[in-house]
Structure 1
Amino acid sequence: MGTIADGEGTELNGYGGEKEPGGGHGGPLTQEQVHGIKETWAILAQDPVERGVDLFMKIFEEDPDLKKLFYFADDGRELSREDQRMRSHGERVMEAVGGAVDSLGDLTAVVPVLTELGALHHKYGVQPSYFDTVGAALIYILETNLGDKLTPSIRQGWVLVYGIVGATMKKGMQQAMDHQNMAKTRP
């Protein structure tokens, strides 16, 4: 598949989200963006649990209907930042983002994991459009935690990285749907 930095295999428009102003990513990541993404990630990774909680609180603020998909939010009660189930899940999501950042030089290592994650998310009823909400929430978390360290160029790099992550997971979801549909049509 190539690297994110060389742009091979990355025919994406933003992160596929309509919530991203401008949409287009303008091509492959520059080395400056790769460096900036790694630097800004190091700041967020200092507290992955809290950043994961921030992410889910923003997701649920933007689209409360998504709560029904999460085991820690499915009973309709008000969520607390201290909910250990949400904290644990948020940390796992942030670890996945960290894996993508660590793989900026070679996506071939992370593609199978993301494809499998997409297939798993299909089983939970996740719709491809939900990735738009997650992408917008991630950019919001970056903006609110990084301030002026998130330059327009680095922000655009993050949009591209999330676009690749989201598109790969969507591909895994599609493969799972295709497999499920083929199984239904077999005699």
Structure 2
Amino acid sequence: MVHDMSYNTVSNVIATWEKVRQVKDYEHVVGTQLFQKFFASTPNAMTVFGFPKGSDPSSKDSLENPRFVKKAKWFIRVFIQMIERSLDMLGPDSELLTEILLELGQRHVRYGVDTSYYPAMGKVLLVVLDDVLDEKTFTPQVRKDWEEVYTALYTDMIEGHNMVNV
């Protein structure tokens, strides 16, 4: 659960996200990398977003397809907002955050999201953070802190997801 994290862990994650926000056009840069790397690592997730099986999120044809671009922008915006809102609520609002994540997990069942997608996105997020942050910022300890925070977030979402399946 998100309320079981130390102050240092939360502080490190929030501070590094502030560094991400300093990247020029960070929502697009980070979001696009997340989108492409997630679908490259989890191609079966693309069908949840309405793409035909076997679509390539990095191909020129896909990137210029208006339907693809619209979905990509939506995915990017929603995911980046979810990260930012979650980080804003860590600490004093963590119990409320847990409730929101449980509900969000329940909602994702309707979208056809598989619980394996949550940790897959976490792995991709770490890769992207490593790509956009320098090694002085994204240290092994900070990486561990991000793993802990994101795991807590998706664990609550999976718990909500599983409530629907019971």
TM-score, normalising length: structure 1: 0.73
Task: Name 1:68's counterpart in structure 2.
Answer: 47
- Kindly indicate whether the alpha-carbon contact (under 8 Å) linking 2:2 and 2:97 is maintained by their aligned counterparts in 1: no
Segments of 5+ residues of structure 1 without an aligned counterpart are: 8-27, 179-187
Structure ranking higher on relative contact order (CA contacts 8 Å, 6+ apart): 2
What's the C-alpha RMSD, in Å, of the aligned pairs?
2.2
Change (3 A) 1:146 1:2: closer
Segments of 5+ residues of structure 2 without an aligned counterpart are: 57-61
Percent sequence identity over matched residues? 25
Residues 1-187 of structure 1: pairs in structure 2 closer than 5 A: 3=3, 7=4, 28-31=5-8, 33-46=9-22, 47-71=26-50, 73-74=51-52, 77-78=55-56, 79-80=62-63, 83-106=69-92, 107-148=94-135, 149-178=137-166
SS in 1 for 2:91: coil
- Kindly indicate whether the alpha-carbon contact (under 8 Å) linking 1:34 and 1:157 is maintained by their aligned counterparts in 2: yes
- Relative to its length, the structure with more helix (as a share) is 2
TM-score, normalising length: structure 2: 0.81
Q: How many residues matched? A: 153
Take 1:175 and 1:157, find their aligned partners in 2: how far apart are those partners? 27
- 1:76 positional shift: 5.3
Take 1:153 and 1:103, find their aligned partners in 2: how far apart are those partners? 22
